[in-house]
Amino acid sequence: MADLSKITCIEDLRVIAKRRVPKMFYDYADSGAWTESTYRANESDFQKIKLRQRVAVNMEGRSTRSTMIGQDVAMPVAIAPTGLTGMQHADGEILGARAAKAFGIPFTLSTMSICSLEDIAEHTGRHPFWFQLYVMKDRDFIERLIERARAANVSALQLTLDLQILGQRHKDIKNGLSTPPKPTIANMINLATKPHWCLGMLGTKRRTFGNIAGHAKGVKDLSSLSSWTAEQFDPALSWADVEWIKKRWGGKLILKGIMDVEDARLAAASGADALIVSNHGGRQLDGAPSSIAALPAIVDAVGSEIEVWMDGGIRSGQDVLKARALGARGTLIGRSFLYGLGAYGQAGVTRALQIIHKELDITMAFCGHTNIENVDSGILLPGTF
């Protein structure tokens, strides 16, 4: 095992993950839709926001502890739901959930995960996790999926609203993305350069969509599974479906994919517990604003009625602090955790969380605060946000 103390930033983990993870799965995680302008803006717009450095303030006794929908968190960060996580590293969702549990932050499992709800429950015990739900045309399957989430000790359902249809993801098309990879010459050549990944995959039985295989009607093999997922995302999704899911679930509900003030008002009126300002990591509507740019107007509109969180472009603890300063009660990280996972498995995820926490803690102190609960837009340089 490498000395992870020498890994000092998320970019270090990204470089190693790119070397270790097969191209089609690395590209799946580290890419956006169409021209990737929104994907790039998510990250670069954070850099435009400047911080006010304060001096001669007591920096002792700092705390980054907070809450997200009433759950105590070590820092206002949760692991976002990401599809195919178990293809970045064998048993990836299990490893991510373990790291999150140990660190004291929430983990969110995707509907399109490789490890199943039951797999995560088996490895997290009584520690609750969150589950991200895609609305499928097969409502019977959705009802059973919600009941499985309940049985697995899921404490909050995260309903994704921005994937009724799939964005233009050119790299996935060029790479012929599939789970597991098809045995083409190009794939075999690439896999031959990823021995660590291959050994991990040989040691696990989890290589396809664990929440779907064996649970969805008519899905008997991998080819029909692929057809089913392509056909099942529901383009007719509406706020009536949100109400149906809220009643069926009955627990904490988070709405993911809000980028517009009007939609934010509808989300608040729905009775959900939180909304996530998110453009799906720049993977859906290319040309949409960055999440951090969309955040302030949404906070102003509904921040007093519903918890507002954000994801997209967070690569450091400074980014978390800036989001908090602009009114986000919580943040979620996707790629930052996937880079750690692809690089070093569970230890890599832990290292990513350590890096983000340290940057958050130190930057907060330099800005004159010792408690994350007291941070507001006063830490930001006027005119830069």
- Give the span between the Cα atoms of 14 and 331, in whole angstroms: 20
- Give the span between the Cα atoms of 263 and 169, in whole angstroms: 25
280 is in an annotated binding site: yes
H/E stretch holding 10: helix 10-20
- Give the span between the Cα atoms of 341 and 349, in whole angstroms: 5
Contact (Cβ atoms closer than 8 angstroms) between residue 277 and residue 258:
yes
110 is in an annotated binding site: yes
313 is in an annotated binding site: yes
Please identify which of the residues 89, 280, 357, 369 carries the catalytic annotation.
Answer: 280
What value, to the nearest 5°, has the Cα angle with vertex 380 and ends 374 and 385?
125
- How does strand 108-109 pair with strand 77-79? unpaired
Place of tokens 């098809």: 182
256 is in an annotated binding site: yes
Nearest to 92 by CA among 337, 307, 363: 337
- Give the span between the Cα atoms of 329 and 276, in whole angstroms: 10
Q: What is the largest CA-CA distance in the chain?
A: 67
Cβ neighbours around 220 below 10 Å, total: 11
71 is in an annotated binding site: no
283 is in an annotated binding site: yes
32 is in an annotated binding site: no
Active site residue 196: no
40 is in an annotated binding site: no
Place of tokens 């830490």: 379
Nearest to 154 by CA among 64, 224, 58, 250: 250
82 is in an annotated binding site: yes
Distances (CA, A) of 192 to 87, 88, 204: 16, 16, 18
160 is in an annotated binding site: yes
132 is in an annotated binding site: yes
Place of tokens 């690569």: 315
331 is in an annotated binding site: no
83 is in an annotated binding site: yes
What value, to the nearest 5°, has the Cα angle with vertex 340 and ends 62 and 15?
115
Cβ neighbours around 173 below 10 Å, total: 9
In the annotated binding site for glyoxylate, the residues are 28, 132, 134, 169, 280, 283
In the annotated binding site for FMN, the residues are 81-83, 110, 160, 256, 278, 311-315, 334-335
In the annotated binding site, the residues are 28, 81-83, 110, 132, 134, 160, 169, 256, 278, 280, 283, 311-315, 334-335
Active-site amino acid positions: 280
